[in-house]
Amino acid sequence: MDFNIPADIQAYLNELDDFIERVIKPIEAEDDNIRFFDHRREWARTDFENGGLPRKEWEALLARVRKLADEAGHFRFALPREFGGKDGSNLAMAIIREHLASKGLGLHNDLQNEHSIVGNQPIVLILRDFGTDEQKKEMIPKLLDGSMRIAFGLTDRYHGSDATHMETRAVPETRNGEPGWLINGEKMWITGMHTATHCMLFARSHGKDGDASGITAFLVPSSDPGVIIEEYMWTFNMPTDHPRMTIRDVWVPESAILGPLGGGLALAQHFVHENRIRQAASSLGAAVYCINETVKYARQRQPFGQALAVNQAIQFPLVELATQAEMLRLLIRKTAWEMDQMPKPEVEKRLSDKVSMCNYWANRLCCEAADRAMQVHGGIGYSRHKPFEHIYRHHRRYRITEGSEEIQMRKVAAYLFGYIGPKREEFAKLEAEARRPVNR
């Protein structure tokens, strides 16, 4: 086994660092752009008089940086070469995402709105793998140049993580001789609808409540008058781009269906493992940043005439966090490497539990590290003059949104106890033997 970062990935990290120093840091320093990252950050980012949405100048700055990163060949790194990417592996993306997040807040990487100079663009791959030839030809180039933005409309208002009991309904309806579907329902947390041109809207088209089949994905123009934004939900970390939506009598032609009729949940699951391992790596990186900054502060701060770091009450909690970070890094990279060794369907069968372990533990670790950083830094750590409270408030979200901790642990338990996964047959035999009557 070789636990060194592969030479090509290390070289790319160096290239990214150079790009950040030469291109990104000067932009961050100009025109008071630092206001988006210092103690004014929440106010600078949020248009409180406009529903709490992101300020236009904030989003324009992020778009400018993404364009520069794209021109430099970084933004599409994870995409296939056919889309201008570099076929970035899961291992490479895990290492890169940790590396960028470990630098702290900055224009290079700010995951509050999924911004990074190395992008994550799952909908391009969903279209590649599930779209019709017409959909691919029309939409993928627009997604890549930013002229089309597709929001992900899965979550129903009253069902949260349980998509199988979705109450949003689609029924067949022909208009002017053209077959199509009429959609009605309510959605929540459909991130990015304020700038989306379309919503990938999931609705039950047939089947029974609770069935995994029977849910279909439709590409709905966000300008349709039946797509009604009721309100944007204000959150722990502002600004918000998460609306509560009503879908009222929205009609779309059959050409708006993405993927197989009734097979929409396959689209929803298509990129979940890649998303979760990358997000876990980002949370690990943010945790490492909190740990490192706190250790530095404890060595520098000298209450009662000696460094704060000499106290075991300071040392031991940070030792535990640092130990967990080291172990988690190995699990994330091992899991990402294993994902690269097998086809996507095999990942679900063989590694889904490991991905869930990485994800829920990384998100929890980040929150614990940010909380400890605030505690050790005292008043200044609690203030917005340090980034720890922002890191805590943002990453606390991921303990809910990328599949809640409970959902992730449930997945791990299902694999561990053999209800699904590689141990299923073995445990079924054990259970059958336990039920076999004993002859006396």
- For 24-79, write each residue's pLDDT tens digit: 999 999 999 999 999 999 999 999 999 999 999 999 999 999 999 999 999 999 99
Per the structure block, which two tokens stand in for 86?
């570099």
Taking 50 as the pLDDT cut, the residues of the chain under it are none
Cα 62 from Cα 56, distance rounded (Å):
10
Specify the pLDDT at position 231: 96
Contact (Cβ atoms closer than 8 angstroms) between residue 241 and residue 45: no
DSSP state of 112: G
Q: 136 vs 23, 31, 63, 142, 222, CA distance in Å?
A: 33, 39, 24, 10, 19
137-177 pLDDT, tens per residue?
999 999 999 899 999 999 999 988 888 999 999 999 999 99
117-131 pLDDT, tens per residue?
999 888 999 999 999
Contact (Cβ atoms closer than 8 angstroms) between residue 359 and residue 431: no
Angle at the Cα of 402 (from 398 to 406), degrees rounded to 5?
Answer: 85
Per the structure block, which two tokens stand in for 43?
């106010």
Cα 382 from Cα 119, distance rounded (Å):
31
47, amino acid identity: D
Contact (Cβ atoms closer than 8 angstroms) between residue 214 and residue 166: no
Q: Which residue has the tokens 């990453």?
A: 395
The candidate with the shortest Cα–Cα distance to 287, out of 332, 315, 324, 317, is 324
Specify the pLDDT at position 111: 80
Contact (Cβ atoms closer than 8 angstroms) between residue 281 and residue 93: yes
Contacts of 242 (CB under 8 A, 6+ apart): 188, 189, 190, 191, 232, 233, 235
Cα 348 from Cα 331, distance rounded (Å):
17
Cα 99 from Cα 333, distance rounded (Å):
13
C-alpha Rg value of the chain to the nearest Å: 23
The candidate with the shortest Cα–Cα distance to 99, out of 79, 77, 83, is 77
Specify the pLDDT at position 359: 95
Cα 201 from Cα 181, distance rounded (Å):
12
Per-residue DSSP letters for 182-239? Answer: EEEEEEE--TTTTT-SEEEEEEE-SS-TT-SSSEEEEEEETTSTTEEEEEEPP-SSS-
